[in-house]
Structure 1
Amino acid sequence: METSQNPNLNHLLAALPTAEFEHIAPQLELVAMPLGDVLCESGGQLQHVYFPTTAIVSLHYVMENGASSEIAGVGNEGVLGISLFMGGNTTPSRAIVQTGGYGYRLKARVLMEEFNRAGPMMHLMLRYTQALITQISQTAVCNRHHSVEQQLCRWLLLTLDRLPSNELTMTQELIASMLGVRREGITETAGNLQRTGLISYRRGHITVLDRSGLESHTCECYNVVKKEFHRLLCDGRNRQDPSASHD
């Protein structure tokens, strides 16, 4: 395990007031979240909720024929497991680790006990859920109305926001699966972005060379999602350690 990890790297845990955080801290378990690990299948019920720190989890909707696309991502800004406290217990989406790393898991029972106290944990989780709904809604609109280039730029930027560097480990096949488009479309688009000097792509590694240029090529969807997360969650980060990362 990485000894440098701490719960404050997750923005939701960092936003909890000291008393509420100390109440659950002994129950938080640091876990490795390797690339490709399936945390929950469609229709499955989570026994734990996950607060990623350096990992990113992709929520996929899987069709009857096996095709799938990403409906949202969960990184250091959020939590996997909103179905538990929203009352549905299960969801039709699959949760799979998109970027390997670490996170903290908490038994579902412990989260629900804290949530049902109707205190800061409940209010924070509900605000996060609203932000996540915005991300899901905006993804649906983006996939319907915007070009593959705009979708790819949006996805790259949202992923970068959850990482400590400008490098991503991701194949074109996986990106195509995330966006629900043909691999050829991703190959052509990534090639165009590389030729214009915005990214460098080599053997499954993507390096963003010009973030501002990438932002100029994306659609409004990126800023809509980013601003909503900021509006709903940023003012709560009152317990974050100075060593923790910021947006």
Structure 2
Amino acid sequence: MNRPNARPAPVSALHRLFASVAVERQASLAGELRRFEQGRGARLIEAGTTPATVFFIVDGLVALLGRGGGGEAAETGLVGPGGLVGHAALLGSAAAGSSAMALTGLRGVAIEARALRHALEDDPPLRRELTAYAAERLAETEALCVCGALHSVEQRLASWLTRAAALLGPDRPIELTHQQLADLFGVRRASVTTSLHMMEGEQSVRCRRGRIEIRDLARLEGHSCGCRRAS
């Protein structure tokens, strides 16, 4: 049944970071937004390129990946529902410092970086909200640098799984292989497998091929170093 008088959903209902957008500005911002879906493994942004689009994530997980001098990659941040990808564009950076890769299927809304920067000029509350978010991502990267130097693979893995469960919901399995997790952490696959076996022995997780289920979140948090709790 057609409803010609129905109004589109306000942008504040599309993503939590739009909650501060004034009512009179919502229609113009909504006109710049487009819904998107991407499959697992999709590359949203490549390091060293200027982000042309900013992605606001509604469902799914995205890993931010930095590269070493030899070309090897490791995770520098994790983005889930309520977050965004492309914060370098908000800071006026010419190029992104990290790539962004979908770890799961994704849904969300996207906007051209140029259009978003223009909207921020006219909306100080939104500018403060998104600038604060960008600062959180930078703080997360700094915390993960310290975490990687000081904590064991088991602690780091438990922290990552705890954060992923917080973003996706504890009842949703995390569909990643041991090798994919090892690549994120920049460690050997055997180190991830050993850590997961220890967690299984403590009944905090259950592992299947390419699938990790959280059985006891509190116990899992007990293994965690806690570096991601405030990210």
Letter in 2 for 1:66: G
Residue matched to 1:221: 227
Tell me the distance in 2 between the aligned counterparts of 1:203 and 1:119: 48
Pick aligned residue for 1:207 from 204, 207, 213: 213
Tell me the distance in 2 between the aligned counterparts of 1:15 and 1:154: 31
Q: CA deviation at 1:128?
A: 0.5
Q: 1:18 to 1:180 in 2, by over 3 A?
A: farther
The question of whether the paired residues in 1 share the 8 Å contact of 2:45 and 2:86 is answered with: no
Pick aligned residue for 1:131 from 111, 136, 148: 136
Residue matched to 1:77: 82
Tell me the C-alpha RMSD between the 2 structures: 1.8
Residue matched to 1:151: 156
Tell me the distance in 2 between the aligned counterparts of 1:144 and 1:218: 15
Letter in 2 for 1:55: G
Q: CA deviation at 1:17?
A: 4.0
Q: CA deviation at 1:188?
A: 0.3
Tell me the distance in 2 between the aligned counterparts of 1:13 and 1:210: 34
Tell me the distance in 2 between the aligned counterparts of 1:177 and 1:66: 13
Tell me the distance in 2 between the aligned counterparts of 1:13 and 1:178: 30
Residue matched to 1:232: none
Tell me whether 140-149 or 70-79 shows the greater mean CA deviation. Answer: 70-79
Q: CA deviation at 1:80?
A: 1.2
Pick aligned residue for 1:38 from 26, 39, 43: 43
Q: CA deviation at 1:21?
A: 3.5
Unaligned stretches of 5+ residues in structure 2: 1-10
Percent identity over the alignment is: 26
1:102 aligned onto 2:89: no
Q: 1:161 to 1:20 in 2, by over 3 A?
A: farther
Pick aligned residue for 1:48 from 53, 56, 63: 53
The question of whether the paired residues in 1 share the 8 Å contact of 2:56 and 2:109 is answered with: yes
Equivalences for 1:115-126 in 2 at 5 Å? 115-117=120-122, 119-126=124-131
Give the 4+ runs in structure 1 shifted more than 6 A. none
Tell me the distance in 2 between the aligned counterparts of 1:52 and 1:220: 24
Tell me whether 113-122 or 184-193 shows the greater mean CA deviation. Answer: 113-122
Residue matched to 1:169: 175
Provide TM-score, normalisation by structure 2: 0.88
Q: Secondary structure at the match of 2:44?
A: strand
Tell me whether 7-16 or 99-108 shows the greater mean CA deviation. Answer: 7-16
Residue matched to 2:199: 193
Q: 1:182 to 1:124 in 2, by over 3 A?
A: same
Q: CA deviation at 1:86?
A: 0.9
Q: CA deviation at 1:15?
A: 4.7
- Could you list the per-position Cα deviations for residues 211-240 of structure 1 after superposition, in whole angstroms to 9, with x for gaps in the alignment? 011111111313343xxxxxxxxxxxxxxx
Question: Whose radius of gyration is greater, 1 or 2?
Answer: 2
Letter in 1 for 2:89: L
Aligned residues: 220
The question of whether the paired residues in 2 share the 8 Å contact of 1:31 and 1:102 is answered with: yes
- Could you list the per-position Cα deviations for residues 95-116 of structure 1 after superposition, in whole angstroms to 9, with x for gaps in the alignment? 1111212111111121011112
Q: Secondary structure at the match of 1:116?
A: helix
Provide TM-score, normalisation by structure 1: 0.83
The question of whether the paired residues in 1 share the 8 Å contact of 2:12 and 2:21 is answered with: no
Tell me the distance in 2 between the aligned counterparts of 1:20 and 1:155: 37
